[in-house]
Chain A
Amino acid sequence: MSEPTPADGESAAQEHTPPVNPAVEASKNFGITPEQYMLPASSEIRLLNPDGSAVPESEQGQEPGHEYPMPDTDRLLTAYEKLVVGRRINDQNMALVRQGRMAVYPSSHGQEACQVAAALCLEDDDWLFPTYRDSVAVMSRGVDPLEVMSTYRGDWHGGYDPRQYKVSIQATPLTTQLLHAVGVAHAAKLRGENTVTLAMCGDGATSEGDFHEALNFAAVFQLPVLFLVQNNGYAISVPLSSQTRAPSLAHKGVGYGMASERVDGNDLAALLSVLGRGVELCRQGGGPLLVEAMTYRMQAHTNADDDTRYRERDEVSEWVAKDPITRMQRYLSDQGALDDAASERISEHAEAMAKRLREAMASKPELDPQDLFRFVYHEPTTQLREQAAQLADDLSREEA
């Protein structure tokens, strides 16, 4: 390594002063230390109890810098509808897989509150980076379910236009997409655009090297990225205790110099509040941020997985009582915001979505084998043109 030399008028000595960190500035507003600000609150943020009652403020244990208000009822009702639709689509897709109409579907049954909140906390120009399990988040952001599901039917690797929806292709490798999210945010910052990027991954994925590199790059370049880890306790079969000895995944944030929070991932109200504030902080230049949502995958990893081999039924049953839908339903009913007519309308909407998906998946799409060669490069190489001609020739002889 050579000694740095001064460039564009800056002295080399300035390079060695501690970096300015927006989280350090923010901590001053709360009269707490930067570390207290960066570390998550001592317990996960929860606004609604599993029985649907609001957590009294006295029991929230809210700490300076970690206070979150209850979202207003209208917003919760909008979110609740997406929750119900998301659950219906999850269950519809599992049925389609069983019927052989879809190749595979990683269901987020049980995690729908995280899915809906991730989509709802973003503005139109913001970007979402989902994983393979986050189809409900993608649809909640406005992508047509048919465009999402064509991937799982096996038609192509990706179905929708990422730039049209500001939703990246659902990532299959773990955490590679977090770096893409950081790059998108970096490009936006260079152009002076005020967009926020929300990047999703699971608990097991936090062991990947790209998780570390993404968080570090985002922090070093002070980018408006909100990292959302859905901690559902398992990476296929491997429990979180085999992934990390950290006190929580949110605690990893302080190592990068970013603020973090833990939130009840089955509490849609808390998620909307925590993620909403996170996005706002990012937009004001206080990013990046890390949020860990504690949730549970109620079904197997995919239809190809057998979860009875690695987890007790009692454990799964315990989480039934913490379901995100029932708790929000009870709260909204108690508030008088969800009467029978509204419930009826919402389930009809969900049923209509499922029916449309069912019918679409029953039809066989027209697939053109020549597409295999069309998108490898902008212009096919000579070799690809030869191979395309060869395949066309093979197919014409089969037809003859």
Chain B
Amino acid sequence: MSVSKVSFAKALNTALADAMEASREVVVFGEDVGTLGGVFRITDGLTARFGRERCFDTPLAESGIIGTAVGMAMNGMRPVAEMQFDAFAYPAFEQVASHVAKMHNRTRGKLSMPLVIRIPYGGGVGGVEHHCDSSESYYAHTPGLKVFTPASVTDAYVMLREAIDSPDPVVFFEPKRLYWSTAQVDLDELRSQYENGTLPRREGRAVVAREGSDATLISYGPSVPVCLAAAEEAARDGMSVEVVDLGSVVPYDDETVAASVRKTGRAVVVAEAQGFASVASEIAARTQERCFHSLAAPVLRVTGFDIPYPSPSFEHHHIPSSERILDALDDLQWED
């Protein structure tokens, strides 16, 4: 047991290895995940350790990857499929929306889909077109899917283990720009806590990442560190800002979010995806429905613009920044 500097990517890699160690039903596949270890190295070393039968490269065909994962899940496996980039997952959308999401319901529970679709997502890494989408709303809108997106190194490990152990299909969004972020974590301790069942479950539970009393920032994935930075800055101006990290977008934790907003009376939803008809819109609507009498101001949203994800030279305008979050906090009708 020792605390050491662990990257988000290493936490994910360790979670995959631990899950494969724990169960022979877990198989990992996708494009370049074998010999190369994935373009982000999240599957690094798995083929060498577990063999080509359990971590393997597939032909370049995303619908094929998810469609065969469905069949494997039907036949007793727990597949973990990697989509190389967010926008490259679209060819698989029919398999996801029509089969992954519906098979359990279609068969009245006779067939389960215990599979995980890992999707590196979001921008902020200077990626070109089709490599930076925040596509979580498409999946969150689809009944039958669970949607997770961790924002911390610890959650990267814990939530991926939970996703793999879930009897329901999970679309697991990995914020690309957090891959290289690090934290002091004891992975051995985390593993034994997870496997002993002594860790609190993360699925369906939002967590308060920073406590505050004046306003709540509700966020998930790559926007959580931005919110924490904004809260830090606001504190210097004497404003106490609470940050709620969803982690689990679906199932959604109304209770924790509403409790925070009822306490602070003001809320801003922050997400990188374009805002129209988005997860952020849903959170804003639900928060207003539940907290209307506690609110001193309308719930605001800070999101990406309603534009296709821009080229690297423009992306800093698009991604919610600390400044835009602070501006939104200022707009929460403090004088009324």
Residues of B within 8 A of A217 (CB): 58-59, 61, 64, 68
Q: Tell me the complex Cα distance, A180–B75, Å.
A: 10
Q: Which of A124-161 contact B (CB under 8 A)?
A: 127, 156-158, 161
- Counting chain B CB atoms within 10 Å of each CB, the highest count among A216, A217, A374 belongs to A217
CB of A214 closer than 8 Å to a CB of B: yes
Does B53 have its Cβ within 8 Å of any Cβ on chain A?
yes
Return the contact of B107 from the options A162, A178, A185 (Cβ within 8 A). A162
With a CB–CB cut-off of 8 A, which chain A residues contact B252?
A: 381-383
Q: Name B186-215 residues within 8 Å CB distance of A.
A: 204
B71 to chain A: closest residue by CB: A183
* B59, B70, B108: the one within 8 Å of A180 (CB): B70
* B72 located at the interface, meaning its Cβ lies under 8 Å from any Cβ of chain A in the complex: yes
Cross-chain contact of B71 among A2, A5, A184 (Cβ < 8 A): A184
**Residues from chain A with Cβ under 8 Å of B312 in the complex:** none
Residue in chain A with minimal CB distance to B67: A179
Chain B residues in 8 Å Cβ range of A190: 27, 53-54, 77
The interface residues of chain A lying within 8 Å CB-to-CB of B238 are: none
Cβ-based interface call for B112 (8 A)? yes
Are B72 and A187 touching (Cβ within 8 A)? Answer: yes
Chain A interface size range: 35 or more
Instruction: Scan residues 361-392 of chain A and give those whose CB is less than 8 A from a CB of chain B.
Output: 371, 374-378, 381-383
| Set B47, B61, B144: member contacting A216, Cβ < 8 A | B61
Identify which of A113-121, A168-176, A296-304 touches chain B: A168-176
Bitwise interface map of B from 109 to 129 toward A, beta carbon under 8 Å scored 1, else 0: 111100000000000000000
Cβ of A296 to closest chain B Cβ, rounded Å: 29
Q: Which of B17-37 contact A (CB under 8 A)?
A: 27, 32, 34-36
User: Which B35-90 residues have C-beta < 8 A from chain A?
Assistant: 35-36, 47-48, 51-54, 58-59, 61, 63-64, 66-77, 79
Asked if B251 is an interface residue, CB under 8 A from chain A, the answer is yes
A191 smallest CB distance to B (angstroms): 7
Contact assessment for B35 and A7 in the assembled complex, using a CB-CB cutoff below 8 Å: yes
Pairwise interchain contact A375-B59, C-beta atoms closer than 8 A: no
A233 to chain B, nearest CB (A): 26
B167 at the interface (CB under 8 A from A): yes
Please determine whether A179 and B68 come into contact, CB atoms closer than 8 angstroms: yes
Say whether A213 faces chain B, with CB atoms less than 8 Å apart. Answer: yes
Contact of B108 among A8, A158, A188 (CB under 8 A): A158
- Contact B71–A210 (Cβ < 8 Å): no
Least CB distance, B9 to chain A, in whole angstroms: 16
Complex interface: chain B residues within 8 A of A2 (CB):
36
Chain A residue numbers with a CB within 8 Å of B71 are: 179-187
Chain B residues with CB under 8 Å of A183's CB are: 67-75, 79
Q: When A183-B70, A184-B75, A186-B71 are in contact, do A376 and B144 touch as well, CB less than 8 Å?
A: yes
Chain B residues, Cβ within 8 Å of A309: none
The answer, yes or no, to whether A397 is at the interface (CB within 8 Å) is no
The answer to whether B74 and A168 touch across the interface, beta carbons within 8 angstroms, is yes
B254 contacts A by Cβ under 8 Å: yes
* Interface pair B75/A7, CB less than 8 Å apart: no
Q: Which residue of A lies closest to B167 (CB)?
A: A378
Residue of chain A at shortest CB distance from B104: A375
Which residue of chain B has the shortest Cβ distance to A181 in the bound complex? B71
Q: Which residue in A1, A169, A187, A377 is a CB contact (below 8 Å) of B75?
A: A187
**Chain B min CB distance to A20 (Å):** 14
Stretch at the interface among B92-100, B153-161, B313-321: B92-100
- A381 near B35 with CB under 8 A, answer no
Residue of A nearest to B47 (CB): A7
A-side contacts of B308, CB under 8 Å: none
Asked if B106 is an interface residue, CB under 8 A from chain A, the answer is yes
Is A220 close to B, CB under 8 A? yes
**Whose C-beta in chain A lies nearest to the C-beta of B169?**
A377
Choice from B63, B66, B143 contacting A209 with Cβ under 8 Å: B63
Alpha-carbon separation in the docked complex, A185 to B109 (Å): 22
Distance between Cα atoms of A125 and B134 in the complex (Å): 43
**Given the complex, which residues of A lie within 8 Å of B184, measured CB to CB?**
none
Report the minimum CB–CB distance from A238 to chain B (whole Å): 20
In the complex, A382 Cα to B94 Cα: how many Å?
A: 27
Other than the given A374-B109, A375-B105, A378-B112, 12 more pairs (CB < 8 A) read A178-B67, A180-B70, A180-B99, A183-B68, A183-B74, A186-B68, A210-B64, A213-B63, A214-B67, A217-B59, A376-B144, A377-B146
A-B contact pairs, 7 of them (CB 8 A): A157-B102, A163-B74, A178-B67, A183-B73, A190-B54, A381-B204, A381-B252
Residues of A bordering B, CB below 8 Å: 1-2, 4-8, 12, 15, 127, 156-158, 161-164, 168-169, 173, 176, 178-188, 190-191, 209-210, 213-214, 216-217, 220, 371, 374-378, 381-383
